Chain A
């Protein structure tokens, strides 16, 4: 279970960043008093436009960022005080995740397996399963620099799941992926859900949310606007579809000062 309570994240801006964002304040509130819970066996989606604060929330759950205020618990462990325990239980996937192009997929997978303190035979089994699932086995001993973008992305996903985590966090799961890789990824997320894993994804694509998510939270300007199943969100917004609901809420809330 992931429990986010009054989560607030404030970034301190450099002068360069202040000029870039055209703001006078030295601080930017990326997430403001966010609350939600996600449970095992469901896919929870954070839906919002670019810059809404989705990635900040996910990175904080993944222990890469620390909350300015509030708490986040993953499977009962606090992301600040028990960050190592949290990292043992999560797989964080993002398209920004890069692999060292000098190594082979085989070495990279084994290296991350060892970082997760897995036994050699466990690493072998996971590698066989994931490489087979994502069709990487034929490229295991090539240098990553020689792989296609899609294959490298699939490897990044496989490496992130080396330790068979209970919680999978996926920032923009299909962004930048080719259609075949995107299908493989969404299918795999459904498969993980069937296995009882907790999956939390962020997206700005309505179709992805509709296809994947059991429940969603819409985030605009760092604030959670609404949370529920897709049907609940649509009906609470007096809309006909998720897309209508999103734009209706966006028009209403996007100009509010955070």
Chain B
């Protein structure tokens, strides 16, 4: 009998083209297009910044610096040598107008040297050390990127060159080099790096998608039937109300899982373009994620538990509500809680304490996150699954009680 009800519920969903489009195709398509678009926009932005030739104005530029910049440009590969356009030849009187240009974005960086800079450098034993001031606009991407290049590459190297001239050799000032013959200093278990990248956003996305997938159809499955009056017709059949309730919960679980799979598939498909913001720029794909079959089974079990909780909550709310609209009102705060749980894990770092796995929903999100970084222990897995089973059992009991409550089922 359970199968008859499940089949009917699934037929209700999968023969309704509008429902199929809005629950499966539209979310997946939207996610794919949105993520691909965002990924390529972020990529374009990064490339654009990299390719930008920073406009740098120099006030009181000393001869030594002009010579240094010429040498610097000659020594760099052509594409990097055009990173800065140095405009020397400004005097101290121009500083205020140049600062205004930085504010408006016309100029990226302003460097001001003390007057008689070279003399002061030479007479360092008798005079105060000369000073260089730099100015940039933190609200401009180009300016922000240019200042770090100027300070950490150009000016630091320029100082080393001056010191080399002072002491006769640059080598005398170099105690060691860093990673000069080391092309790749990243050491991680194969696939774990990809997992870390995915663990930032994927648990959050999976949870939000699972809940959203179940929410739309879930409210219609029970509250919609009550509203349309078709629930009473079903309750007149010689079938236990528990069976009707379980049939609806299971079918909704199947629908929610399929909806989430479609959306998750869209996320995976968009990864080549969207890894810059979905996985903190890590190289992510299912191939690079070195999951064993055990990991996949654990992930599947955790997801089933999460779907179970979501679907049971939605069904319970729908049974209590008199109409789809009322169910929607009740479900909104629940959705907020799910969102909060999902987002809470994005900003969590370090080890997850065992007690956190006992918190329904949140524990499952943590478990997915830890699983992706290969840090989920069997005890933690057991705790989160155990808690979920207990929560689902309680929710199912409440749904059954609600189905047997005539005041709930026939409120009018």
Contacting residue for A111 out of B4, B232, B240, B406, CB 8 A: B4
New contact pairs (18) apart from A97-B229, A98-B229, CB-CB < 8 Å:
A12-B407, A64-B235, A64-B236, A64-B406, A66-B406, A85-B238, A87-B236, A87-B237, A88-B238, A99-B233, A100-B228, A100-B230, A102-B16, A103-B11, A115-B5, A115-B237, A156-B233, A159-B233
A-B contact pairs, 20 of them (CB 8 A): A63-B236, A64-B232, A65-B410, A84-B238, A84-B239, A85-B238, A88-B238, A90-B236, A97-B229, A99-B233, A102-B16, A111-B8, A115-B1, A115-B4, A115-B234, A116-B238, A117-B1, A117-B238, A159-B233, A160-B236
Q: Determine whether the beta carbon of B236 is less than 8 Å from that of A96.
A: no
Question: Which A residues fall within an 8 A CB radius of B?
Answer: 12, 59, 62-66, 84-85, 87-88, 90, 92, 96-103, 107, 111-112, 114-117, 156, 159-160
Instruction: Give the Cβ gap from B227 to chain A, nearest Cβ, in Å.
Output: 10
B15 is an interface residue with CB less than 8 A from chain A = yes
Report A-chain residues with C-beta under 8 Å of the C-beta of B232.
Answer: 64, 96-98
B12 is an interface residue with CB less than 8 A from chain A = yes
Interchain CA distance A66-B405 in the complex, whole Å: 10
**Given A96-B232, A98-B228, A102-B12, do A115 and B407 touch, yes or no (CB 8 Å)?**
no
Q: Chain B, interface size: which category?
A: 20 to 34
When C-beta atoms are compared, the residue in chain A nearest to B231 turns out to be A98
Instruction: Give the Cβ gap from B320 to chain A, nearest Cβ, in Å.
Output: 13
Q: Determine whether the beta carbon of A115 is less than 8 Å from that of B239.
A: yes
Contacting residue for A99 out of B230, B237, B406, B410, CB 8 A: B230
Q: Determine whether the beta carbon of A100 is less than 8 Å from that of B238.
A: no
Interchain CA distance A117-B239 in the complex, whole Å: 9
Instruction: Give the Cβ gap from B19 to chain A, nearest Cβ, in Å.
Output: 9
List B1-57 residues whose CB lies under 8 Å from chain A: 1, 4-5, 8, 11-12, 15-16
**Given A65-B410, A96-B229, do A112 and B12 touch, yes or no (CB 8 Å)?**
no
List B362-412 residues whose CB lies under 8 Å from chain A: 406-407, 410
Interchain CA distance A33-B70 in the complex, whole Å: 108
Q: Closest 10 CB pairs between A and B?
A: A98-B229, A115-B237, A87-B238, A88-B238, A114-B4, A84-B238, A98-B230, A100-B230, A92-B236, A65-B406
Most chain A beta-carbon contacts within 10 A, residue among B15, B238, B407: B238
Instruction: Give the Cβ gap from B22 to chain A, nearest Cβ, in Å.
Output: 15
Report B-chain residues with C-beta under 8 Å of the C-beta of A88.
Answer: 238
Instruction: Give the Cβ gap from B26 to chain A, nearest Cβ, in Å.
Output: 19
Over the window 228-258 of chain B, the binary record of Cβ atoms lying under 8 Å from chain A Cβ atoms (1 yes, 0 no) is 1110111111111000000000000000000
